[in-house]
Amino acid sequence: MTFDYKFSAKKSLGQNYLKDPNIIRKIIASAFIQPEDTVLEVGPGPGALTHGLINSPAHQIMAIEKDGQFIPHWQSIMMNSKKFQIHHGDGLKIKLESLSKSPLKIVANLPYNVGTQLIINWLEELPLVKSMTLMLQKEVVSRIVSPPGSKDYGRLSILIQWLCTTEKLFDVPPTAFKPEPKVTSSIIRIVPRPTPLWPATKSVLEKVTALAFQQRRKMIKKSLQGLFPETEKVLERLGIDPTARPEILSIEDFCKIARAVGDN
């Protein structure tokens, strides 16, 4: 496979193009694409992943690209392939529900500057997501998969692991891209759970974790002051050490707190 590098690479759009065919094959294999799948790629760029996706068994491939320089190229591909559709627009603004009525497999080498926000947006439309197989910065993947007690455990880990199973698959070195990014990347697979790990209201859990991790070094009873009339007593009643730091609390603990806020 050869790639077309007549396109420019804009830093502002996170344009680091994959050039290593082995990595491309491994990413596509990791998505376990089946004939009944509709695949969504955000940011096809010059198409390192896209051509592999078009040649996969999936019955439909949809792609969203913000940069107009690629659009004529993808429109000509669309003319020749019944299963490919390009949408010129911003992946942050296009809702999954406007693309599909049934769940999508999202496969993408996400632009670094908007990768986290794209995932957070998709969490709002999880019934339309079958799985996400994504390339992100290594440190973002670590923040997503980290367990309680580790330095990268925080709001993102709690929210995503509460709703989805997460698995880091492998690292990708800067040399796999052109131009080479400064950081190492990782591939992650995220699969929505049939139901969240523990009962809680998402907006309340988001509020609790935002407060708790505003200052990681602060005791939980101090960070959550104001949530309840007697924060320390509520935490004790929930079986949570009020002097603990947020990073040692489990997802179950945060859900208990969110439910207590709801009852409040």
Residues that bind ligand SAM (CB under 6 A): 13-18, 42-45, 48-49, 64-67, 90-92, 109, 111, 114
Using CB atoms, what's the residue nearest to ligand SAM? 43
Tell me whether residue 90 or residue 180 sits nearer to ligand SAM (CB atom): 90
Query: Residue 33 or 114: which CB sits closer to ligand SAM?
Result: 114
Nearest to 57 by CA among 42, 41, 38: 38
Torsional sign, CA 90, 187, 30, 119: negative
Angle at 43 between CA 138 and CA 143, to 5 degrees: 20
| Beta carbon of residue 165, minimum distance to ligand SAM (angstroms, whole number) | 24
- In angstroms, give the least distance from the CB of 91 to ligand SAM: 3
Instruction: Provide, rounded to whole angstroms, the least separation between the CB of residue 11 and ligand SAM.
Output: 11
- Give, in order, the Cα–Cα distances in Å from 5 to each of 2, 54, 216: 9, 20, 44
Comparison of 87 and 221: residue with beta carbon closer to ligand SAM: 87
CB of 118: closest distance to ligand SAM in angstroms? 8
d(CA 24, CA 7): 19
CA distance 75 to 172: 30
Give the count of alpha carbons within 13 A of 63, CB side only.
30
For ligand SAM, which is the closer residue by CB, 41 or 253? 41
Are the beta carbons of 114 and 14 closer than 8 angstroms? yes
In terms of Cβ atoms closer than 10 Å to its own Cβ (0-12, 13-18, 19+), residue 38 is buried
CB of 29 to ligand SAM, least distance (A): 15
**Phi/psi at 197 (nearest 5 deg)?**
-55, -45
Of 208, 63, 40, 191, nearest in space to 123 by CA:
191
Nearer to ligand SAM (CB atom), residue 68 or residue 226: 68
Shortest Cβ 77–ligand SAM spacing (Å): 14
- Taking the least distance from each CB to ligand SAM, the nearer of 50 and 131 is 50
**70/65 Cα distance (integer angstroms):** 8
Q: Which is nearer to ligand SAM, 90 or 97 (CB)?
A: 90
Q: How far is the CB of 56 from ligand SAM (least distance, A)?
A: 15
